[in-house]
Amino acid sequence: MLTSTSSVLVVGGGPTGLTAAAALASRGIDVRVIDAAAQGANTSRAAVVHPRTLEVLEDIEVTSRILDRAVRVPRFDIRDGSRSIAQLDFSSLTTDYPFTAMISQADTETILRERLGELGVGVEWKTRLEGLDADGRAEVVTTSGRRSTVRSDVVIGADGMHSAVRDAVGIGFPGTGYEQSFVLADVAMEWPVPRDTVSLTFAPEGLAVVAPLPDNRFRVVATADDPPTEPDADYIGSLLRRRAGRAHVSDVAWSGRFRIHHRLAETYRRGAVFLVGDAAHVHSPAGGQGMNTGIQDAIALVGILADGGDPDSYERLRRPVARRVLRLTDRMTRAATVDLGGARFVRNTLIRAGLSLPPVRHRIAMEISELAYR
């Protein structure tokens, strides 16, 4: 479908859009990237790059750059409060990258933008999509008011949950939001778990995930009923102590409060328009699948279009993956928030029993690492 004379408009300058643009440019396809924001992310948001994502990013030659910056974490410790009940170990997985790479989204985006720049393409910031049809004709407006019509062979919507691309071509986005909010923060703290381990803690108050980051910091993800807009060190420290035991937060580099949704686009394609990443699927951050699934969407889509594949095969390939990720992350979130003593006992017993079996441990590790989606 795409050749060296084709043109593609990518809407969205986050990790998924940057990946799609770099994959296109590396194949000699003319690509333009627009984003309504003033600049790229300067906060962490997504902080996990899973093994399968590291594999597919070899296609645009950024994997080694990410690993130069990231903390390599091969273990997941599943905990009930301060007590470990089971562990997953990625180190035996069949891949060149038997670990998760912990790195801030800001750093990941910087690496992707630098690679895109090497390929001769930059992001056009402060440029929004105002109209689009399924034939690929778009109305683009800058903040200065300059309006232009862009005619592209393909439009890729990588513009997130509130996608203007998806709305413009009338693709439904059914689903629901979780009742609880999520707290995200990057902090410096005293934490009793080794820095080669991600902790997934179940507690009556809700889920808490703690993962190491570069520069001796930690990423904290936790459910909360009514958190402040920017949780401070006292709030995050108290939350972790109630759920996970000993923790002393000394500094907060960045924090935020988010409502999380559970949604899947009705279709991934309408004519010349394709959806990738959060424009196509959103879900709980449990397991850190979101950005990873989006980056893999982008690489898969570009490969199909540039190699002369059936455009409809993109949805057949990637929508079932998103459905599996939504199911996995929803189960993790709901299991983590069980608050009745008897139900917690049953949950912990099932986790221990299941993860005592090597085939079960391997299957879950393959799902979380996304190697199951090769």
| Beta bridge partner(s), residue 129 | 140
- Contact 159/12 with Cβ under 8 angstroms? yes
In Å, what is the CA distance from 152 to each residue of 125, 133, 316, 335, 366? Answer: 19, 11, 24, 45, 38
The stretch 102-129 carries a mean pLDDT of: 96
Which is more confidently placed, 284 or 269?
A: 269
Distance CA 146, CA 113 (A): 25
Element (H, E) at 149: strand 147-151
Q: pLDDT tens, 14-49?
A: 999 999 999 999 999 999 999 999 887 655 578 999
pLDDT value, residue 205: 76
Contacts of 26 by beta carbon, 8 Å cutoff, 6+ apart: 59, 60, 61, 119
In Å, what is the CA distance from 252 to each residue of 27, 120, 213, 256? Answer: 41, 37, 13, 11
Q: pLDDT tens, 184-238?
A: 999 999 998 999 999 988 877 778 899 999 999 999 999 888 899 999 999 999 9
pLDDT value, residue 337: 60
Two tokens, residue 109? 């985006």
Angle separating helix axes 341-355 and 358-369, nearest 10 degrees:
100
Q: Is the pLDDT of residue 130 over 60?
A: yes
pLDDT value, residue 180: 75
In Å, what is the CA distance from 311 to each residue of 84, 267, 278? Answer: 46, 13, 20
Q: Is the pLDDT of residue 52 over 90?
A: yes
In Å, what is the CA distance from 239 to each residue of 142, 166, 204, 248? Answer: 43, 37, 12, 11
Q: pLDDT tens, 95-113?
A: 999 999 999 999 999 999 9
- Contact 344/75 with Cβ under 8 angstroms? no
Distance CA 20, CA 22 (A): 6
Question: DSSP alpha helices (H): ranges in the chain?
Answer: 15-26, 51-56, 63-69, 105-118, 164-168, 233-244, 290-306, 313-336, 341-355, 358-369
What values do phi and psi take at 44, rounded to 5?
Answer: -80, -45
- Contact 31/8 with Cβ under 8 angstroms? yes
Q: pLDDT tens, 310-328?
A: 999 999 999 999 999 988 8
Which band of pLDDT confidence, cut at 50, 70 and 90, is reported for residue 117? very high
pLDDT value, residue 336: 62
pLDDT value, residue 365: 86
